[in-house]
Structure 1
Amino acid sequence: MADIIQLLPDHVANQIAAGEVVQRPASVVKELLENAIDAGATSIKLIVKDAGKTLVQVIDDGKGMSNTDARLSFERHATSKIRTADDLFQLHTKGFRGEALASIAAIAHVELKTKQESDDVGNVIVIEGSSVTSQEVIVTPKGSSISVKNLFFNIPARRNFLKSNTVELRHVIDEFHRVALAHPNISFALYNNGSESFNLPISNFRQRIVNVFGNKTNEKLVPVEEDTEVLKISGFVGKPEFAKKSRGEQYFFVNNRFIKSAYLNHAISSAFDGLLKNGTHPSYFLNLTVDPQTIDINIHPTKTEIKFDDEHTLYALLRSAVKHSLGQFNIAPVLDFERDPSLDTPYSYNNKDKADTPKIEIDRSFNPFKEETDSRARAVAYKKEPASSWESLYVGLESKGTKTNQDFSEVRFESEAETVSVFKNDKDVEHIHTTYQLHNKYIVSTIKSGMMMIDQHRAHQRVLYEDFLKNLTVKEAMSQQLLFPLQLHFSNQEIVVIQQLKDDLEHTGFMFSNIREELVEITGVPVGVPESEVSIILEQLISDVENEVPDSNFSATDLLAKSMAKSLAIKTGQSLQKDEQEHLVNKLFACKEPNVSPTNRVTFITMSVDELDKKFI
């Protein structure tokens, strides 16, 4: 029998490797930015077009590459970071496997311009689908400029799996944030379709966070510092009152490398135990410095997951450090119930002289018995006064009485409220209790064939969703004017999303008087929407737009209606009155699709009498 095992060609092997390394344009952004940092760059520019599908370009002022190194960098497992296997456990750089550029070149058009400082001229290499088309000498500044064009041009199936530009750009910006936050000592700039989105100068860690997420972030940060033999922690956590419903602002950096760890995230959440509202998540930006020999960062192709030698110790240290910071800066609740803050001495009065003792003047000639004697004398005098004019009190009484007797014939008594009898006939009893609430979660209603149980949260979502969708389509929503404009603060990226949705939001009843950098001013809200819920609705909407839009054909109107319905629907655990229950049931079955919620979940179930009978067999 002939041999059937054979070695794969290099271009096929590279495409398989690309499937692990390059999932979307954001993956290319991550690899190229990390290469620029490893090259010792102090200034890095990222340029993207069409969310990276058409172009991803990274320009840095690092040390550059020689002619030979530039050519070798596109070979598989070619790297300058590792010489022996032991070097894998002493890593202080970002990329080390040497498969990134080879994988990217296998699925895109790549152009690399690079020059070392000691050289007079540089090199330019053009690669299309793993094959080098040209390599020439070129005049270029010190450093490297690498352009990745037409991603997945030779794998159409992979390109079809990419999401809309809005979603892909969100992933690109996320990767940009992760790298920029980990290296505040490097200046970063991001240009999207020719316009500048971020320009981050060299700064400290706190200032870098503020530059990325907006000036309003500065007042939300609580510093965290802890230095032990095992772990060094530095960074910031967000104050509990600014916790968000999304997990967007959660960053762990281990040895200046962004990682994801559900275990360490739980340590932060437990430190905030009792301080957060249900459904909200704390923000944190924490740098963890550990011995490289105690971690393994080679367990995942994207290197975002790390294996620690002693996770339990790190968990305990991280939890106690965050708790200590929250207590040190008076974020944790005070347990002194008898203390009245209003009685505290203001700081401005600490060093002032004590107040003068008030002086009391006494009238030494005051005699209370003398006044009592005078009052008795006046009372006696009053009794002795003759009642000479008492007859005038009854003048005209006879005529008034006659008129009053005539008016009594026309007196009408106010009708009293009808009192409901405790005992009713059988017909009335059927209509008194048509619905019941079970555990403040389900509404139980009787039907002809048996009983029906309705999930109140999902049912109300369906009702609100169809109402909002109708208002958005017809564009005749009612707006409720606010007495004072509502000012909400958002990051620059969130402001861009709100501006995109401004017209649709106005069709639902929102009214905006001003949208500018990091500030949104609202003068009107949809009827029935509490003012306190506006910020929650917009945060949820921004999160949905950034993370849940499936493709470019997806309707923004539909997404907006779903997001608002999810935010404003009756929550599980909310008690409803009888008329509220019945109104919700009637509104649900007036909908076009009462069977499912906007997220395609069942809103109610039915159980026939026969099924109930079987339960008692």
Structure 2
Amino acid sequence: MPDNIQLLPDHIANQIAAGEVIQRPASAVKELLENAVDAGATEIRLIVNDAGKALIQVIDNGKGMNETDARLCFERHATSKIRQIEDLFHINTMGFRGEALASVAAVSQVELRTRRHSDELGTYIEIENSAVVRQEPCAAAPGTSISMKNLFFNVPARRNFLKSNAAEMRHVIDEFIRVAMAFPQLFFSLTHNGQQVFHLDRGSLKQRLVQLLGSHYNSRLVSVQEQTDYLNIQGFVGKPESAKKTRGDQYFFVNNRFIRSAYLNHAVMQAYQDLIPGDSFPAYVLFIDLNPEQIDVNVHPTKQEIKFEDEKIVYAFVQAAVKHALAQFSITPTLEFDIDEGIQKLDAVSKPFTQEQQSAASSSGLYQAFTRQHQAHFIEKSKPDPAGNKTDSPSGALKSWETFIEASSSGGKNEGSFEYEQASSFDWEPPKKKWQLPEVCDFLQIQLQYIIAPVQQGYILIQQQLAHERVLYERYAAALVGKPMATQRSLFPVTIDLSPADAAMLLEMLSDMALLGYHIEPFGQNSFVIQGTPADILQGNERAAIEQLLDQYKHFSSDVKFSKREKLIRSLASQHAIRTGTQLTQAEMRQLARDLLSCAQPNVTATGKPTFIEFNRDYLNRLFEK
């Protein structure tokens, strides 16, 4: 009987190992940038073509390598950072496993040029499928230039799993941002298809954050700085008013290494408790420096998950540091003791408190209630008014139900109220359903968020925002399958500047957004011109609408089961829906109810929330025992 267990050939073993380290172009970008940082470089340039599928090149001015090291660095588990097992618990470098370059060489065509500052000639090495094809001396600048071409050329199945160039480029930008953010004292640049995306000069941490995340963060950041015997915490957190619906701009670094930690994120969220809504997330960039012996970074192939020796201590320090920063910069609510000048001129302040006034005040029931021991609950009843009017409640505090109904159903509109689109874009015949509106009926809006609509067998209570979300969702879904929406051209086109990550995201969505009524064109680096918007977007609000759309798109991007188009139409429906607190006229309420009941699935939103609750006649009769 032949043996069943055999040793894998080296090239197959390398490709299997590469599957853990190099999952997409962004994975290789991370490994190569970290190697450049470990090499002591002060200038690091990243060049990519076709989102890294065709080329990923990192050029640095670090210490370089000699001929032997240049050849040996592509071997598996070859590293200059580990000598003995104890070194694993004293790691101060970004990489240490010796797997990155071996994995890169296993799935791409690699060219390496490197020279030490003390050498006259450098070394050129060409590798394909883990085998050295060419090695020779060459002229080279001090430092290292490594290029990986045609990623996954020898593993076509892996290449087929890659996303579009726009999607892969967003991942490349994310990895670039994480490395560049951790080292503001170094120069970084990113060039994609010959166009420079980032040019980051050396500077302070705040300058680097503004360069990476956008200039709007310049006035939204609060400094965090805590020095303790156990660890040091520094960085910035966003002001509560800048909180978003997504977790996009949240970064944790431990000893300059980007990590993911739901546990520490919870500590930051606790520090913001009662300062932001429960469904919002603050921005933060926090650097935690502590003894490498207190952490274990060797728990995940990407090194983005680490273990702390005592997580509870780190949790407490992070929460306290963020709370202290918010309080120190007067972000948390405080009492204001400045007295208005007008108050100083009142008689009660400017005139003396006479003996007669003191006696009258001390004999009052209110004074007695506050000065008696164990009588804090005692309040003297007010005397009835001789005219027969009750004085124990403020005037106008109680309103009759008829007055409330009259106020709720008034047709007046407040300033800036929503103009509901009168013409429905549904051109098919509404299906017959059990919820049928009478030909002539009145609608009632309650608390500026609920609509009572009569139906044949009772009435339905509609939540106006969720109902409009359902209507818009089906309208946008129809637009993407052959019924494009009309575009309202802007008289004065608006230019919008975005961060590189958001620009890459918007570029990916332009074709689908054109079907939904948006006419947006690229306009230089990370800039776009909004030439037209759907008819229901108020003129002058185009820039805010695009920014909110991108924020909402990121919110749905966390769910991998959604397609790109599904995320887009859900984002637009959520953004454009009328908000709670908007007053609607009878015509607007009638149109909204008709559009809702004409939907293919009117009773729930795309996210599963109910749009209305039905109160039929039988149920009402049971309530009143009829």
Once the two structures are superposed, what CA deviation does each residue of 1:473-500 show, in whole Å capped at 9, x if it has no partner? 5453457989xx9997643553565577
The residue type equivalent to 2:550 in the other structure is: I
Unpaired runs of 5+ residues, structure 2, are: 345-436, 621-626
Q: Where does residue 486 of structure 2 map in the other structure?
A: 476
Counterpart of 2:320 in 1: which secondary structure?
helix
Q: Where does residue 161 of structure 1 map in the other structure?
A: 161
Q: Where does residue 152 of structure 2 map in the other structure?
A: 152
Change (3 A) 1:22 1:519: closer
Q: Which of 524, 542, 550 is 2:550 aligned to?
A: 542
Counterpart of 2:110 in 1: which secondary structure?
strand
Q: For residues 451-530 of structure 1, what are the structure 2 equivalents within 5 Å?
A: 459-468=467-476, 474=484, 476-478=486-488, 490-495=498-503, 526-529=534-537
Change (3 A) 1:165 1:543: farther
Quote the Cα distance in structure 1 between the aligned partners of 2:343 and 2:300: 55
The Cα of 1:445 is off from its aligned counterpart by 8.4
The Cα of 1:9 is off from its aligned counterpart by 1.8
TM-score when normalising by structure 2: 0.71
Change (3 A) 1:240 1:523: farther
The Cα of 1:6 is off from its aligned counterpart by 2.3
Quote the Cα distance in structure 2 between the aligned partners of 1:71 and 1:544: 48
Change (3 A) 1:335 1:107: same
Counterpart of 2:468 in 1: which secondary structure?
helix
Cα pair 1:60 1:145 within 8 Å, conserved? yes
Quote the Cα distance in structure 1 between the aligned partners of 2:496 and 2:12: 52
Once the two structures are superposed, what CA deviation does each residue of 1:152-195 show, in whole Å capped at 9, x if it has no partner? 11222211111111111011001000000101111011000011
Cα pair 2:246 2:551 within 8 Å, conserved? yes
The residue type equivalent to 1:266 in the other structure is: H
Cα pair 1:454 1:605 within 8 Å, conserved? yes
Q: Where does residue 577 of structure 2 map in the other structure?
A: 569
Q: Where does residue 404 of structure 1 map in the other structure?
A: none
The Cα of 1:429 is off from its aligned counterpart by 11
Per mean C-alpha deviation after superposition, the further-off stretch among 430-439 and 133-142 is: 430-439
Per mean C-alpha deviation after superposition, the further-off stretch among 207-216 and 150-159 is: 207-216
Change (3 A) 1:192 1:186: same
Once the two structures are superposed, what CA deviation does each residue of 1:291-329 show, in whole Å capped at 9, x if it has no partner? 100001111110011111111111111112111111211
Per mean C-alpha deviation after superposition, the further-off stretch among 581-590 and 36-45 is: 581-590
Aligned length, in residue pairs: 523
Once the two structures are superposed, what CA deviation does each residue of 1:253-311 show, in whole Å capped at 9, x if it has no partner? 11111111111111111212222245321111111101100001111110011111111
Q: Where does residue 395 of structure 1 map in the other structure?
A: none
Q: For residues 220-231 of structure 1, what are the structure 2 equivalents within 5 Å?
A: 220-231=220-231
Quote the Cα distance in structure 1 between the aligned partners of 2:324 and 2:229: 18
Cα pair 1:254 1:287 within 8 Å, conserved? yes
The Cα of 1:600 is off from its aligned counterpart by 8.8
2:69 is the alignment partner of 1:59: no
The residue type equivalent to 1:313 in the other structure is: I
Bigger radius of gyration among the two: 1
Quote the Cα distance in structure 2 between the aligned partners of 1:154 and 1:133: 15
Per mean C-alpha deviation after superposition, the further-off stretch among 559-568 and 219-228 is: 559-568
Change (3 A) 1:537 1:549: farther
Q: Where does residue 14 of structure 1 map in the other structure?
A: 14
The Cα of 1:589 is off from its aligned counterpart by 3.8
The Cα of 1:112 is off from its aligned counterpart by 1.2
The Cα of 1:215 is off from its aligned counterpart by 3.0
Cα pair 1:509 1:524 within 8 Å, conserved? yes
Q: Where does residue 253 of structure 2 map in the other structure?
A: 253
TM-score when normalising by structure 1: 0.72
Quote the Cα distance in structure 2 between the aligned partners of 1:103 and 1:611: 67
Cα pair 1:189 1:196 within 8 Å, conserved? yes
Counterpart of 1:56 in 2: which secondary structure?
strand
Once the two structures are superposed, what CA deviation does each residue of 1:337-362 show, in whole Å capped at 9, x if it has no partner? x64578899xxxxxxxxxxxxxxxxx
Per mean C-alpha deviation after superposition, the further-off stretch among 191-200 and 118-127 is: 118-127
The residue type equivalent to 1:38 in the other structure is: D
Unpaired runs of 5+ residues, structure 1, are: 346-427, 613-617
Quote the Cα distance in structure 1 between the aligned partners of 2:288 and 2:539: 40
Once the two structures are superposed, what CA deviation does each residue of 1:67-98 show, in whole Å capped at 9, x if it has no partner? 11111111111111001111000000011111
Quote the Cα distance in structure 2 between the aligned partners of 1:125 and 1:610: 83
Quote the Cα distance in structure 1 between the aligned partners of 2:522 and 2:4: 69
The residue type equivalent to 1:53 in the other structure is: K
Q: Where does residue 234 of structure 1 map in the other structure?
A: 234
The Cα of 1:51 is off from its aligned counterpart by 0.5
Quote the Cα distance in structure 2 between the aligned partners of 1:71 and 1:195: 32
Q: Where does residue 116 of structure 2 map in the other structure?
A: 116
Quote the Cα distance in structure 2 between the aligned partners of 1:274 and 1:30: 37
The share of aligned pairs that are identical, in percent, is 48
Cα pair 2:166 2:504 within 8 Å, conserved? no
Per mean C-alpha deviation after superposition, the further-off stretch among 106-115 and 464-473 is: 464-473
Quote the Cα distance in structure 2 between the aligned partners of 1:56 and 1:583: 55
Cα pair 2:486 2:534 within 8 Å, conserved? no
Cα pair 1:25 1:52 within 8 Å, conserved? yes
Quote the Cα distance in structure 1 between the aligned partners of 2:131 and 2:342: 78
Counterpart of 2:75 in 1: which secondary structure?
coil
Cα pair 1:442 1:454 within 8 Å, conserved? yes
Change (3 A) 1:438 1:298: farther
